[in-house]
Amino acid sequence: MNRHLISAADLTREDALRVLDTADELARISDRPIKKLPTLRGRTVVNLFFEDSTRTRISFEAAAKRLSADVINFSAKGSSVGKGESLKDTALTLEAMGADAVVIRHSASGAPHRLAEWVRGSVINAGDGAHEHPTQALLDAFTIRRRFGRSSGGEPGAAAGGKPGGGLDGLRVTIVGDILHSRVARSNVLLLHRLGAEVLLVAPPTLLPVAVDAWPCSIGYDLDAALPKSDVVMMLRIQQERMNAAYFPSVREYSRRYGLDAARMAQLPERAIVMHPGPMNRGIEIAAGVADSPRSTVVEQVANGVSVRMDVLYLLLGGAEAGQ
């Protein structure tokens, strides 16, 4: 792996499989009475969040603490950023504190890339604008792999004997919803394609990016036509806080055409699973009954996020030399 994780495109197929295989090992720690490893003792991880977040920030904090790292949580609200301090000045402050890794979430696309130019530690992108969210894509791939028995983590149907797990070759993943404003969608398309999955984006034309034709995926507009051929359906939240125009007639009309309810879930193949990166708008893009069904992986994704982020921190800060 490189020194930073800013984009899913930074990962080769071998890098991604290495992350997923090592995360399988780390996931077993959550079943132990003592869930800590001394791997990153003495290292400092800074969570630098310029946008509100619950799942991602807590997930990174839990991951770093389970590896015995010191954690500093930095929130833009109530900090010098509110007084006009620039990102570069904040970066220089973190550098002076000796941060070994900076986990950054920012509303501006490209902010993690700029930060990586100013600090000597590793930079991990926890979401930048509508650009990317690579660790979310990794935990989604990890969840898919476990559900379909392609991991070495001892799940039902999984690879036996502790051997490395495989990719996602041949699986059909349909990502539905607000692709235009979704950093999760872009990272997932890049990573899932690299792991061998066939990715289909389904959304209203107004919620697709201008250059989406250049992405390694197919495009569709009819959810009902896509469902019977999907192994995985990933529902995305309508990000109304990022919208500055009317992208569809009404929320009710959007839900009618692109929402996943019980009737639509019944069209899925028997082994198909339903995913959502959260937070969910129940009753809009996903019905409550679907979100809480056994085929939903929403809770698993949260748990798997800690294991995957532990692994990313381990490989960037603790295991880079050992793994080369």
DSSP states of 121-169: SEEEEEEETTTB-HHHHHHHHHHHHHHTT-SSS--TTPPSTTPPP---T
Same domain, 161 and 38: no
Q: Of 158-162, 188-192, 308-312, where does mean pLDDT reach its minimum?
A: 158-162
Q: Please check whether residue 169 lies inside any domain of the structure.
A: yes
Instruction: Provide the pLDDT for residue 75.
Output: 77
Nearest to 102 by CA among 135, 60, 41, 52: 60
Same domain, 310 and 275: no
Q: Please check whether residue 125 lies inside any domain of the structure.
A: yes
Number of Cβ atoms within 10 Å of the Cβ of 223: 21
pLDDT in tens, 202-239: 999 999 999 999 999 999 999 999 999 999 999 998 87
Strand partners, 301: none
Scan for tokens 């476990």, then name that residue: 146
Same domain, 69 and 84: yes
Same domain, 225 and 313: no
Could you tell me how far CA 187 lies from the centroid of its own chain?
8
Same domain, 30 and 156: no
> What's the total number of domains in the chain?
2
Question: For residue 103, what are its two tokens?
Answer: 């986990």
The residue among 246 and 167 whose pLDDT is bigger is: 167
Measured at the CA of 44, the angle between CA 42 and CA 46, to 5 degrees, comes to 165
Query: Residue 52: which pLDDT band, with cuts at 50, 70 and 90?
Result: confident
Contact predicate 157/26, CB 8 Å: no
Q: Please check whether residue 322 lies inside any domain of the structure.
A: no
Q: DSSP 3-state assignment of 227?
A: helix
Contact predicate 38/64, CB 8 Å: no
Length of the chain: 324
Mean pLDDT, residues 47-63 taken together = 92
Same domain, 286 and 141: yes
Query: Residue 175: which pLDDT band, with cuts at 50, 70 and 90?
Result: very high
Same domain, 167 and 283: yes
The separation between the first and the last C-alpha atoms of the chain, rounded to the nearest angstrom, is: 9
Query: Residue 321: which pLDDT band, with cuts at 50, 70 and 90?
Result: very low
Q: No. of H helices and E strands in the chain? A: 11, 9
Instruction: Provide the pLDDT for residue 95.
Output: 85
Q: Please check whether residue 1 lies inside any domain of the structure.
A: no
Contact predicate 272/231, CB 8 Å: yes
Query: Residue 33: which pLDDT band, with cuts at 50, 70 and 90?
Result: confident
The residue among 44 and 33 whose pLDDT is bigger is: 44
pTM of the model: 0.91
Q: Please check whether residue 36 lies inside any domain of the structure.
A: yes
Same domain, 262 and 279: yes
The residue among 83 and 176 whose pLDDT is bigger is: 176
Same domain, 202 and 156: yes
Per-chain mean pLDDT for the chain: 89
Mean pLDDT, residues 108-132 taken together = 94
Residue by residue, DSSP assigns 1-31 as --S-B--GGG--HHHHHHHHHHHHHHHGGGG
Q: Please check whether residue 323 lies inside any domain of the structure.
A: no
Q: Please check whether residue 324 lies inside any domain of the structure.
A: no
Residue 143 has pLDDT above 90, yes or no: yes
Quote the domain boundaries for residue 242. Answer: 136-296
Residue 92 has pLDDT above 50, yes or no: yes
Instruction: Provide the pLDDT for residue 163.
Output: 61
Same domain, 145 and 268: yes
Instruction: Provide the pLDDT for residue 272.
Output: 97
Instruction: Provide the pLDDT for residue 57.
Output: 94
Scan for tokens 């977040």, then name that residue: 53
Question: For residue 79, what are its two tokens?
Answer: 């900090």
CATH number at residue 251: 3.40.50.1370
- The set of residues, in sequence order, having a beta carbon less than 8 Å from that of 295 and lying 6+ positions away, is 265, 268, 272, 273, 274
Same domain, 60 and 82: yes
Q: Please check whether residue 3 lies inside any domain of the structure.
A: no
d(CA 147, CA 8): 22
Query: Residue 115: which pLDDT band, with cuts at 50, 70 and 90?
Result: very high
Query: Residue 121: which pLDDT band, with cuts at 50, 70 and 90?
Result: very high
Mean pLDDT, residues 138-154 taken together = 87
Contact predicate 65/71, CB 8 Å: yes
Mean pLDDT, residues 283-299 taken together = 95
Instruction: Provide the pLDDT for residue 29.
Output: 81
Give the burial class of 113: count Cβ atoms within 10 A of its Cβ; 0-12 exposed, 13-18 middle, 19 or more buried. Answer: middle
Same domain, 250 and 307: no
Mean pLDDT, residues 12-28 taken together = 94
Instruction: Provide the pLDDT for residue 94.
Output: 87
Mean pLDDT, residues 258-280 taken together = 95
Contact predicate 217/166, CB 8 Å: no
Instruction: Provide the pLDDT for residue 161.
Output: 41
Q: Where are the alpha helices (DSSP H) in 227-322?
A: 251-258, 262-265, 288-291, 298-313
